[in-house]
Chain A
């Protein structure tokens, strides 16, 4: 699993990356009440805002950690947005992207680097 400075995680399996927000981000946000997942087929570039996560207080953009094409969105979040809080790095995944350039993941932080980054905030 790799991590961005905007608190997204990405996990690669073959050429499909699963993306979500980190446990730290979910905890900072508080109770999630609404999630807007991206449309399947949408082309994204790393750094594009491609989803929205909304807490009781406010909505926040979620950024694509890698470039490619959205091949699946987590439909379950529509009925159960609280899954993002319960399982942010598992069942609370937002979307799967078929990556166009797997090397983009190398530039992202690993767990140790991300944990150090969070501690520095």
Chain B
């Protein structure tokens, strides 16, 4: 692994800053990204759970959807109620294909009067924006925001650390999103994230990124956190990762994401793949995503087979690893619905050896979202 930025990869506005901080850089979604800094993944993970971790997620795709009734148009692609989305709020949702499978998961919100603000996964953004454009143009236009950076500040001390510079964020509740002046620039700030902790995602012009990043790091409560810890944090939070736990074959019902299929949309059945999704909601899907705790041996990772107590292979791990908070292996896996009850005893096969595992409810580590603002 090289600690220099690989010049054939894309860079974010913060790439040189990460290298200067001693980050180990790796390719991710076509970008050179920090997987860890000097402290290492375990310390960075635990710091975020106890203090405030700062993440560069500028590789993700940011865009605006504008034009004739963009919220109604967006509903043609997703199963959420966006017509009913209030100003100042965002929703988690997913682009669906005709078979009810997930093209990508995303956040979409109304931070201001300028249409819908959308954030998608870095590895999928080219395809996502093409799908949206193919389906909705010309009445509704997608504009990619290539000149913006995205920084996440996550952890119990995130609100104090950010409010020291942007007092208004203390008034925000989980899933609020607002355009506001911050750090002397036009920022779009949401109270949300990918760690299960309280925290904020901050979209700023690219040319302000180094200054804002450096300013936030001056606070002794804040440390830079790499993608290694980002992955272990989201896994503990039971949050799926596209390309691993979700792909075009996986429906929101199989993935345990039915909360994103709002009641009115279920009744209307007016989204791609509605026939399959309606049937799965009524009869149950063929497979269900569960959380597994690995009770002995090594962590079970993506691709590990899941077997029943008799040793019969019944499913597969879609993502898994070591949990620094629980000090054991945890995993997300697909199993048949009959074996999906918390407490069910199963086995994971790791390097050819069956190891005891148990179905548990996710999240593995409780979420600490601030659903009502302090003031």
The prevalent SS among residues of B at the interface is mixed
A30-B40, A30-B41, A36-B298 are known contacts. Are A56 and B228 too (CB-CB below 8 A)? Answer: yes
Proximity string of chain B (316-341) to chain A, C-beta cutoff 8 Å, 1 when within and 0 when not? 00000110100001000000000000
- Bound CA–CA A30/B23 (angstroms): 13
**Nearest Cβ distance between residue A113 and chain B, in whole angstroms?**
23
**Nearest Cβ distance between residue B108 and chain A, in whole angstroms?**
31
User: In the complex, what residue of chain A is closest to B232 when comparing beta carbons?
Assistant: A56
B240 within 8 A of A: no
B299 within 8 A of A: yes
Q: Which chain A positions have C-beta within 8 A of B322?
A: 33-34, 54, 56
Instruction: Kindly state the interface size class of chain B when it binds its partner.
Output: 10 to 19
Instruction: Kindly state the interface size class of chain A when it binds its partner.
Output: 10 to 19
A30-B36, A30-B228, A34-B322 are known contacts. Are A57 and B41 too (CB-CB below 8 A)? Answer: yes
| A56:B321 contact, CB within 8 angstroms | yes
**Nearest Cβ distance between residue A63 and chain B, in whole angstroms?**
16
Question: Among the listed A34, A56, A59, which residue makes an inter-chain contact with B41, where contact means beta carbons less than 8 Å apart?
Answer: A56
**Nearest Cβ distance between residue B327 and chain A, in whole angstroms?**
9
B310 within 8 A of A: no
Which residues of A pack against B, CB within 8 Å? 28, 30-31, 33-34, 36, 52, 54, 56-59
24 A/B residue pairs, CB under 8 Å, sorted by A = A28-B1, A30-B40, A30-B228, A31-B41, A31-B42, A31-B43, A33-B42, A33-B322, A34-B298, A34-B299, A34-B322, A36-B351, A52-B298, A52-B351, A54-B298, A54-B322, A56-B228, A56-B232, A56-B322, A56-B324, A57-B35, A57-B41, A58-B301, A59-B298
